[in-house]
Structure 1
Amino acid sequence: MRSEGHVRFIRISTRLQAGIAGALAGAVLLWIGVLGWALLSTVLGLHDQSSLLGREAAVASAESRVAKYRANLQTIAADLQKRQDFIEKVVQGSIGPIPDSLPRGTVSDSSGEAARTVRKISMVLPGATGLARVEQRQLAFVERLTRFADTRAAQATSAIRKVGLSPDMVARNDRAAQGGPLIRLATGPGLAIDPRFARLGASLVRMSLLDNGLARIPNTLPANLDYISSGFGYRADPFDGGAAFHAGLDFKGPLGAPIYAAAAGTVSFTGVRQGYGNCVEITHGNGLLTRYAHMSRIAARMGEVVKPGAVIGAIGSTGRSTGPHLHFEVRISDRPVNPRPFLEAPLPKPPLAKANNDVQQEAGARRPASRRG
């Protein structure tokens, strides 16, 4: 600095320069932070406002929907009628046609009370008459479906008893293998639902358990053949002529003819057994087992789940055999029983297994098993 002919010098140390620069940088950063916070607050405010508008729009939409319900009860009732039509068609398409005439003693009949309810609602709240009629129709359908399930369960119970098995044991064995997450059908105090729906659920469960048991009872002819060449019980041994016990039925047939599973089950043995030759065994549950022997070819695999009428092998003459035939046994708790009552019993076919009926007919399930050579 020059002043009156004199020169003076002002020296600024490095430390002071760094301090001044740091202060300026801090001021700039503070300024940027304030601007950023103001901008962020503006954006958040706009977002909150947008969310509030969205919630208000949703509330307005729901309120308008309620208003539409109030103003168009007949339209809503017509829509529910169409849904009920759809539900009934789906149910009947799954289990088959439900007869109009069913025993009424198995479940309550709410038709009279439902009709009185419709009349009262018609007088008190005419606009809700259509909805009351939909409810009346639903209750009638639920009770009709319950009677159908009870009727089928009774038929299955009778058929299972005819072949010497216990229906309760069949149902218990199926029920023993169940599980899954708990999903309530009703919530709130008491967790209660209309008893008519609970009754329907119980009836459908029992019908399903017994129908599954029926599918595992040997009722399909194991071979599409002309006659039985040897029956169950004591006979003259075909090799030495002495008295012997025959533990099954012999179906004579051509070499290589198909052999069918007599019922649904799991293949528990494939291979060679002494005296039986090539052999397949199928376990059906409830202590039931079927054995197919003297095969020329085995077409089943260990652990395979088979349906009635599934091809499991071919007729042959392996093992202790005098010619091509199928030796067929039914065993309960490993004790041989006469297969005839099983094959000849007129068991009702489960409604949920329509596809199996075609297989069983192809396998000769409806052919008489009593012809002898």
Structure 2
Amino acid sequence: MSLSRLARLYRSIEAMFPERHLYVRTGGQMQAFVLTTGRQLAIAGVVAGAALWMGITTAALLVSWVTPSEAEAEIARTQARYERLIADRQARLDALYAQMRTDTGSLAELAHSVENRHAALALLLADAKAAPGAAQALAPALNKVAKANEADPVSRVELVRLSQDQLVAAAETYAKTRADRLKLAFRMAGLSPDRYAPPPGSLGGPLIEARDPSALAVLLDVDEAFAARIQRAAESLTEATALGEAAESLPFGRPASASRSSSFGFRVDPFTRRPAFHSGLDFGGAFATPVTVTAPGVVSFTGERSGYGKTVEVDHGRGFKTRYAHLSSIAVKPGQRVALGQRIGAMGSTGRSTGVHLHYEVWVNGRAQNPDRYLKAGDHVRQAS
């Protein structure tokens, strides 16, 4: 069956490509060429292969023209990026030169603007210089302002303005960071920061008494955007200063350098062996270890109290009081004003005590508080300084 099919196929090919004779006459002579079926098949195969190759290469060429390579695309993206950078730089230079050419066409007006911005910064730094940690936070930006004067005259103006912007940003970041850390310390002590922060509308000073940035811009003779940044930094700085001053008046200090030996809350009473409420913290230490006041205030009581032994109580205002008990000696008198960290007595074991230690209490509006929260808040305040 297969042989008959091959025979039919061969006959079909012979019918398509029958033997042909080609006669060529050259110079009066005749030459004959015989094109057999095999030769015609070979020629047809070569022609078909050449046509296929030309079609594939033509298609590949067209695809390459239509679809750019990844390398070409990356080159195009890079070129576009650099063109944008160059255009942005040129726009900044054009804006600077345009400002330099306005009005008198000299540097006088631009120099006047830079001087006014410096004057506004001087007011801001005057408020910030006494704040804890402000000098260290602002030192890098201040150094950049100083280095700007070392540049050539053409670049100096732009460098000074850029340094001024960086200095405002550094002041704003420092003030906001310090205010946020102090707010967190107040919350750690269970206190509302809003109670101690300056209320809206009560901020003073030339930088923040003008509530509208446009009014401040007119007052300082600077652009409104710069005036708004100065105002925000001044407001954050004022808030941080108010919270810092409030923190200094609260019992955030440590009453003794000794370690704690008993915590606030319910515990087993060492005398009755029954659960009892312990209204303070105990600090164990050697006999006569100095005991210091944890916040400024006025001594409201000294002497013996039942169960407490020799005791000192200090009124810190705003409803805050602290109590220091089981002392061996007392170094202050009622009505005496004491400062933070001042020695008020020495550790002992008077009253209802099983050994030498300090019993320390914090009271707010007549209610005992957990002193541990105030100690942790004080540690956080000192980290913010």
Structure-1-length-normalised TM-score: 0.53
Q: State which of 265, 285, 305 in structure 1 corresponds to 2:296.
A: 265
2:343 match: 311
Contact kept, 8 Å, 1:170 with 1:286, in 2: the verdict is no
Contact kept, 8 Å, 1:280 with 1:298, in 2: the verdict is yes
Partner-residue secondary structure (3-state), 2:194: helix
Q: State how 1:227-306 maps to structure 2 within 5 Å.
A: 227-262=259-294, 264-272=295-303, 273-301=305-333, 302-306=335-339
1:357 match: none
Q: State which of 191, 194, 201 in structure 2 corresponds to 1:165.
A: 191
The residue identity in structure 2 corresponding to 1:296 is: S
2:244 match: 211
1:98 match: 137
| Distance change (3 Å), C-alpha of 1:95 and 1:241 | closer
1:347 aligns with 2:380: yes
Task: In structure 2, list runs of 5 or more residues that go unmatched.
Answer: 1-105, 141-151, 218-226
Q: State how 1:124-163 maps to structure 2 within 5 Å.
A: 130=156, 133-163=159-189
Contact kept, 8 Å, 1:211 with 1:350, in 2: the verdict is no
Q: Deviations over 1:209-252 (max 9, x none)?
A: 12223334444332222x43332222333334344221111222
Larger radius of gyration, structure 1 or 2? 2
| Distance change (3 Å), C-alpha of 1:208 and 1:184 | closer
| Distance change (3 Å), C-alpha of 1:340 and 1:127 | closer
| Distance change (3 Å), C-alpha of 1:241 and 1:351 | closer
Contact kept, 8 Å, 2:179 with 2:243, in 1: the verdict is yes
Task: Provide the rounded CA distance (Å) in 2 between the counterparts of 1:156 and 1:90.
Answer: 18
Task: Provide the rounded CA distance (Å) in 2 between the counterparts of 1:298 and 1:289.
Answer: 17
- Please report how far the alpha carbon of residue 91 of structure 1 lies from its aligned counterpart in structure 2 after TM superposition: 5.4
Q: Deviations over 1:251-289 (max 9, x none)?
A: 222221101223x22134231233323222234455332
Task: Provide the rounded CA distance (Å) in 1 between the counterparts of 2:374 and 2:360.
Answer: 12
| Distance change (3 Å), C-alpha of 1:254 and 1:196 | same
Task: Provide the rounded CA distance (Å) in 2 between the counterparts of 1:99 and 1:183.
Answer: 21
- Please report how far the alpha carbon of residue 93 of structure 1 lies from its aligned counterpart in structure 2 after TM superposition: 7.9
Task: Provide the rounded CA distance (Å) in 2 between the counterparts of 1:197 and 1:240.
Answer: 63
| Distance change (3 Å), C-alpha of 1:199 and 1:251 | same
- Please report how far the alpha carbon of residue 151 of structure 1 lies from its aligned counterpart in structure 2 after TM superposition: 1.2
Partner-residue secondary structure (3-state), 2:321: strand
Task: In structure 1, list runs of 5 or more residues that go unmatched.
Answer: 1-68, 102-125, 353-373
Q: Deviations over 1:9-45 (max 9, x none)?
A: xxxxxxxxxxxxxxxxxxxxxxxxxxxxxxxxxxxxx
Partner-residue secondary structure (3-state), 1:275: coil
Task: Provide the rounded CA distance (Å) in 1 between the counterparts of 2:186 and 2:367.
Answer: 18
Q: State how 1:59-74 maps to structure 2 within 5 Å.
A: none
Task: Provide the rounded CA distance (Å) in 1 between the counterparts of 2:205 and 2:238.
Answer: 16
Task: Provide the rounded CA distance (Å) in 2 between the counterparts of 1:70 and 1:236.
Answer: 80
- Please report how far the alpha carbon of residue 326 of structure 1 lies from its aligned counterpart in structure 2 after TM superposition: 0.7
2:253 match: 220
1:337 aligns with 2:361: no
The residue identity in structure 2 corresponding to 1:149 is: A
Task: Provide the rounded CA distance (Å) in 2 between the counterparts of 1:269 and 1:142.
Answer: 46
Comparing 141-150 with 237-246, greater Cα deviation is found at 237-246
Aligned pair count?
Answer: 249
- Please report how far the alpha carbon of residue 168 of structure 1 lies from its aligned counterpart in structure 2 after TM superposition: 0.4
Task: Provide the rounded CA distance (Å) in 2 between the counterparts of 1:224 and 1:257.
Answer: 8
Q: State how 1:111-126 maps to structure 2 within 5 Å.
A: none
Q: Deviations over 1:73-108 (max 9, x none)?
A: 99xx99x99xx89x979956853221799xxxxxxx
Task: Provide the rounded CA distance (Å) in 1 between the counterparts of 2:356 and 2:206.
Answer: 58
Structure-2-length-normalised TM-score: 0.52
